Amino acid sequence: MEADDRTHRLLEEIRDAQREHLAEYRRVTDQTLELQRRIIARQEQVSYLYKRVVLVAGLLVACLLGLLLYVLVRQSDVLFR
């Protein structure tokens, strides 16, 4: 009878340990999912900022090229004699 009690207690301890492991696994999984959500949101923000910077830089380069072309055309008689 004592062996049955010890076996029963051992099985209960195993069950309790498995429950604790499962709870810890769920907690870590929830943390990981939350971090992934934050990372995705941050990547979307950086992507939006990157697109704006590229657009502004492209417009600036286009304006500078247009200005250079304008100066070359206006001063072509002086520059290309």
The string of pLDDT tens digits covering residues 9-39 is 999 999 999 999 999 999 999 999 999 999 9
* Domain segments of the chain as ranges: 2-79
Regarding pTM above 0.85, the answer is no
The string of pLDDT tens digits covering residues 45-77 is 999 999 999 999 999 999 999 999 999 999 888
- Render 11-78 in DSSP notation, one character per residue: HHHHHHHHHHHHHHHHHHHHHHHHHHHHHHHHHHHHHHHHHHHHHHHHHHHHHHHHHHHHHHHHTHHH
1 versus 46: the higher-pLDDT residue is 46
